[in-house]
Amino acid sequence: MRIAEKLIRTTMLTILFICMTQFAAFAAGTPIGEVVSMIGSVVAEQPDGTVRQLELNEQIITQDVIVTGIKSTVEILFKDESIYSQGPEARISLDDFVYSEEKSATRLLFSMGKGTFRYVTGQIVKTNPDAFALQTPTTTIGIRGTEVFAVVTPQKEEIGNTKLSKGHTMTVGNKSLDTPRTSVSVDPMTGAISDPTPVSQETINKVVKEAPMTSQGELGNADVSSKDIERKIESFKQQIERNKGSLGSLDDKPDYAQLHILKVQKTSLETSESNHDSGDTTGDLGGGGGGGGGGH
């Protein structure tokens, strides 16, 4: 009996500690988004040392540092409808995020530490583009309606876009990228930034595979656990429902881009369900939507 009582007491204390940790974290910051897809191990660190183990549908708050483990990825949908994904062994600090009806108050500042990142812009860039910035250890990225990627290592930073809306641009330091599928290389030692060059399809495929977006119907990397396939299935189901909700009524003009993404999401859901039913957790899951999607 004493052993059972001790076990129950220990379990209750553990649950209480977890609840207090979560409460302390949310007291420290404002919810700014939620995890819409993930595999592996992902944590959120706060400046006060609080660490939260993230799961599907969990809230993300200001000043979170998002850290992915080995063979781990995460996708976050922010309040302004922007989408962010992060590859394995990467970290980013969500320093500042305000999405407000008051345009002058709206702002975003994220600092990328290392790894592979992708970002599809949302309402903040539309309403107050000058208050939007993504930072790497070496330079600052400005965005005007695009899908940006960055691969940050101690030796080199490659920064570019997979899609660029008509009439929009992207800046990396003092360089402007005015055409789709272009990138620059940044030397972390000197800060020198190369002239823009076309992004190879090989690079795009690698970035999409490392940091997939279920919102674009992308399946991502291979070699995932049964639990991760279950997460992916749930992610696709939720993304499909979100996508259906954004299509409007039958009287509205068809959004063919969203309809295409919806079709890809359904195909990826079927593939994930098939892999789960067959017990195949090591087969190549492919790239799904392959090269970015939606764009805002």
Position 245 scores a pLDDT of: 84
Position 246 scores a pLDDT of: 81
Give, in order, the Cα–Cα distances in Å from 271 to each of 110, 218, 220, 283. Answer: 34, 11, 12, 11
Distance between CA 164 and CA 143 in Å, rounded?
A: 10
Q: What's the pLDDT band for 292 if we cut at 50, 70, 90? A: very low
For the entire predicted model, the pTM comes to 0.84
Position 4 scores a pLDDT of: 52
Distance between CA 203 and CA 208 in Å, rounded?
A: 9
Position 257 scores a pLDDT of: 85
What does the angle CA 15 – CA 17 – CA 23 come to, to the nearest 5 degrees?
A: 105
> Which one has a higher pLDDT value, 224 or 105?
105
Q: What's the pLDDT band for 30 if we cut at 50, 70, 90? A: confident
What percent of the chain shows pLDDT beyond 70? 83
The H or E element spanning position 267 is helix 256-278
Tens-digit pLDDT profile for residues 242-288: 998 887 666 677 788 889 999 999 999 999 999 888 876 554 444 44
Distance between CA 132 and CA 140 in Å, rounded?
A: 10
Tens-digit pLDDT profile for residues 131-171: 999 999 999 999 877 899 999 999 999 999 999 988 888 99
pLDDT surpassing 50 at residue 289: no
Position 16 scores a pLDDT of: 43
Distance between CA 6 and CA 76 in Å, rounded?
A: 39
pLDDT surpassing 60 at residue 173: yes
pLDDT surpassing 90 at residue 17: no
Position 88 scores a pLDDT of: 97
Please tell me the CATH code under which domain 31-213 is placed.
2.60.120.1440
Give, in order, the Cα–Cα distances in Å from 134 to each of 90, 93, 96, 129. Answer: 15, 10, 11, 12
